[in-house]
Amino acid sequence: MAVRSSMWLEYQIEANWTSPVIFILYNTLKPVGGSLLLLAMYYVVTGGFLGGESLYFLYIGNAFYMLVAQTLFNVGWIIHDDREHYQTMKYIYISPLSYFMYLMGRSAMRFLLSLLPLSVLIFLGVFLKIPYHIEVLLLLGTFFLGWIFVISSGLLLSGINMLTARHGNSVGQAFSGIFYLFSGVVFPINVLPGWASKAALGMPSTYWFSLVRRSVLGKEVDSIMSGFTTGEVAVRLIIISVLFFVISYLTFRLADYLARKKGILDMTTTY
Amino acid sequence: MTQKGLRRVLPSQRVDAIACEHVDRIFESKNRTVQALNDVTITVKKGELFGLLGPNGAGKTTLIKILTTLLLPTSGKAHVYGYDVTRDENKIRPIINMVSGGEYSGYGLLTVRENLWMFSQFYGIPGKEANQRIKTLMERLGIANMGDRKIRTLSTGERQRVSIIRAFMTEPQVVFLDEPTLGLDVETARLIRRFIQEWLEKDSERTVLLTTHYMMEADELCSRIAIINEGKIVALDTPSGLKNMVKKEISLNIEIFPEIKVDWLNNLDGVIGFNSKDAGGNLSLRVVVEHDAAVGEVLAGINQHGGKISYLNKEEPTLEDVFLKLTGRGLE
Amino acid sequence: MNVMLNLRALKGRAYPRMIGAVREPSWMFWETFLPILSMAAYVYVYRSLDAPKEFEGFVILGGVMTTYWMNVLWGMASQLYWEKETANLQLYLAAPMSKMSILAGMALGGMFSTSVRCISIIVMGVIIFKVDFVVTNAGLLLGIFGVTLVALYGMGMVFASLFLMWGREAWHLNMIMEEPIYFLSGYSFPVKALGSLSLFATVIPFTLGLDAMRQLTFPSMATQWGLVSPHLELVILLVMSIILLYLARVSLDRMERMGRSKGTLTMRWQ
Ligand SMILES: Nc1ncnc2c1ncn2[C@@H]1O[C@H](COP(=O)(O)OP(=O)(O)O)[C@@H](O)[C@H]1O
Ligand SMILES: [Mg+2]
């Protein structure tokens, strides 16, 4: 019930303010822009050639990254918006609906809504002649694990937001940059300096993006990640995701406690 | 002052501080149209403390917004110090300021003093001078020791004092106070009222337009009062002039046990208006009637409807009764 | 126009921005450290493709200019809307100063944190990625940089009033003004690669500014990837600045007028 109503709220805020056409346009312009940016980079380096493994790698990685980025972009606002804009945080907080479940519901809805631009990008990939080789079951499992990963990140971010000021920029967007750089999204992780590619192996997102490539392209080209079988990647992802969720959850709880202790649940911090 | 300077000041002295002529304001949205102001005509002279009294939704804030150049009238003319609010907003803004009760502005990360300083800069007050004025006013309003606190950590009353300082530190000619004592305790409200009165006394050119739905406040402070209901000015006079309107009438305060329905009062001859409040199982009723005969009928009616009277008092007419008489309903 | 009044107003609004940055150092993490990470990803994309070193430098410069763009969007364009939501806008409007000085104050006040980020980006480029900037004409470079900023913030002022009139949550709009604009302006690649589209892209002030700055810091790439000569770009940018500042004034007036007649300037949450 709690989750349902917060999902409904997210839908109202994010989708129900305009016509479906504008909604789709508005939600796909950003991801499409991001993909075009990468394609242009590829284009200038190869001297006008758009094809090859590296291109498919970065195109698919970037498309699925949008799922992470868009969800976090929105989740990054929830706390600050509820607290300082609508000033409803304290009312939601004292309602029987747990704030945790509320956040879960809102991020779940956003995740679902972000599937739309993702499918647009996958469709556009056909024009790039991306050799799709979709393993449906694996892809479904990947979506589910991805969702766990994204809501864990959202929870961690929300915990931090409870204690920090509202800055101008979207903190969610900045936060997702960590995953963009350290998870082999648009380039293989062996390009990173040694310490960073080791760190990448500790991130759930690295395994998730590997699963994405395996389920959409039917293979893994990242030289480090292809050392693992699909099963190994999945198991590692599950273990690290569970750990990540627990850490995020505990952080959120701690932040929640500290916020009440410091009396900053309803602070306003604009400047 | 030179001859020329004098002449430049003189004409404006004859001008009224505020003048509204047939001001209408209509809000249109997709599914409804609200006429917030309906043919409002008032003039406020310099030096006056003019009150606008009316229930929630009467249009008080709308009129203030028009006069503070935040909103255009749909039709009619409004002038502040002789300047047209529609065209001359740049001449009006330097000489006015405003406070909206219950609304706090500024930035959460700044201290009280910093927030005030920032607003003073929007009026071009030199830094030193601004700090001096802020200091004096903070002392005057009893929050001298709160300059370094964040607004968030202040109580409602303290915040409202900060808003008052924000408005008065720019030394405006006309101040608009929209329910300035909303939600404040008796003592803070009194402090603010006294401050407003003293501020006015210091200079005969200063003018205040104050809105309120507290009867007593309007009665105590204002030299003249306009009563506004559903966008219309229904009466305009001095407080005593207004009360004279109901001199002949009789006001009754009645406590009834248990809580009974009183809508039958509407059909009773001689009843001018009434207002009833739930008072913890009892009904607290205020009735204004035309003559003694009606008093008996009211009391008999209460009996008939199964109510027992636990308290009965005849009172001097108040502004509330004026309002009851004019609109047939209570203010609060 | 009262110059002293507007200078004071500008200072007044810049102050909270500067104080905010000092008092809430968490912005260092959010607005400097994290955004640099996403930018670094583009550098690694070039590395994974064995691109010439200069392209990495292009990304660094793109990172600098988009930082200002972000500041324009988040610190300015969406700000009037935000001020309305926090009940400050009505006090700003009822005050005698020009609304442009308020916006300029926001921009200047935000310049501190923005510049910290830009310097960090350049330092990272030079130290970590070992990018070699070859500055041939420092005066022209600085001139172009300055004029680009004026045009950029002029555009921000136009957006500020448009966003407010639009009346929708301004960050919805900000969101679509990021990646698509990055693409059109050639954030991470030379804009000339867009062919005739690049002509269209030059309405975004930092497209030309960025292109000129790249020509002036990586002369080896100038002939292949430069759009037009930096001098010409400077002239165009100057004209754009004037037009944009004028438009800013007009649109702020229009916004105020429209808001006053519709009664939307003081209403929150819509
Ligand atoms: N911006 C607006 N849009 C639509 N209706 C409005 C707006 N502002 C006020 N109203 C309506 O105008 C009427 C008068 O409101 P207001 O002036 O705020 O009353 P008061 O201040 O006396 O309580 C109310 O019915 C209110 O709903
Ligand atoms: Mg009101």
Q: How confident is the model at residue B7 (pLDDT cuts 50, 70, 90)?
A: very low
Report the separation in Å between the CA atom of C217 and the middle of ligand 2, taken as the mean of its atom positions.
59
Q: So what's the pLDDT on residue B278?
A: 84
- Whether B113 is in a domain gets the answer yes
Which CATH number covers residue B281? 3.30.70.260
Q: How many CB atoms lie within 10 A of CB B32?
A: 7
Q: Is the model's pLDDT at A34 over the cut of 90?
A: yes
Domain holding B177, by residue range, is 18-242
Q: At what angle do helices A136-163 and A53-80 cross, to 10 degrees?
A: 40
Tokens of B57: 């939704």
Say if the Cβ atoms of B107 and A270 lie within 8 Å.
yes
Q: What is the pLDDT of residues C91-142, one digit of tens each?
A: 999 999 999 999 999 999 988 889 988 999 999 999 999 999 999 899 999 9
Cβ(B228) to ligand 1 under 6 A?
Answer: no
Q: What are the pLDDT digits (tens) for B245-258?
A: 877 788 888 999 88
Quick one: average pLDDT of C22-29?
86
Residue B324 maps to a domain: no
Asked if the structure places residue C130 within a domain, the reply is yes
For the residues A232-244, what does the mean pLDDT come to? Answer: 96
Residues C160 and C256 sit within 8 Å (Cβ to Cβ): no
CB pairs under 8 A between A and B: 15
- Give A267's contacts in chain B (Cβ within 8 Å): 108, 152
Which residue segment(s) compose the domain that A65 sits in? Answer: 2-262
Confidence class for position A269, pLDDT limits 50, 70, 90: confident
Record: contact C31-A169, CB cut-off 8 A: yes
Note the pLDDT tens digit of each residue in C60-98: 999 999 999 988 988 888 888 888 888 899 999 999 999
Whether A270 is in a domain gets the answer no
In B66-95, the residues whose Cβ lies within 8 Å of chain A are: none
Q: Name the minimum distance, in Å, from the CA of A254 to any CA of chain B.
A: 23
Mean pLDDT confidence for B100-108: 85
Q: Which strands make up the sheet holding B75-80, listed edge to edge?
A: B33-44, B18-28, B75-80, B83-84
For C203, the domain range is 3-262
Q: Domain count of chain C?
A: 1
Are B237 and B253 in the same domain?
no
Q: Please state the domain count of chain B.
A: 2
Separation of CA B26 and ligand 1 centre (Å):
9
> Domain of B92: which CATH number?
3.40.50.300
What is the band of B131 on the pLDDT scale with cuts at 50, 70, 90?
very high
B72 and B90 together in one domain: yes
Read off the pLDDT of residues A142-198 as tens digits, 9 standing for 90 and up: 999 999 999 999 999 999 999 988 887 778 888 999 999 999 999 999 999 999 999
Answer whether residue C268 shows pLDDT above 80.
Answer: no
Distance B233 CA to ligand 1 centre (A): 15
Question: Strand order of the sheet with strand B250-257?
Answer: B271-279, B282-289, B250-257, B308-315
**B178 and B137, same structural domain?**
yes
B103 C-beta closer than 6 A to ligand 1: no
Give the residue whose CA is nearest to atom 16 of ligand 1. Answer: B59
Say if CB B138 and CB B144 are below 8 A apart: yes
Indicate if the pLDDT at residue B3 is higher than 60: no
Q: Is the confidence metric ipTM above 0.85 for this complex?
A: yes
Q: Can you tell me the mean pLDDT for B87-95?
A: 94
Q: What is the pLDDT of residue B10?
A: 44
pLDDT at C48 over 90: yes
Q: Any residues with CB less than 8 A from the CB of C223 and at least 6 apart, and which?
A: none
Q: Give the integer Cα–Cα distance in Å for B126 and A59.
A: 57
Q: What is the pLDDT of residue C85?
A: 83
Pocket probe mutation, ligand 1, options B62, B63, B229, max atoms within 8 Å of Cβ: B62
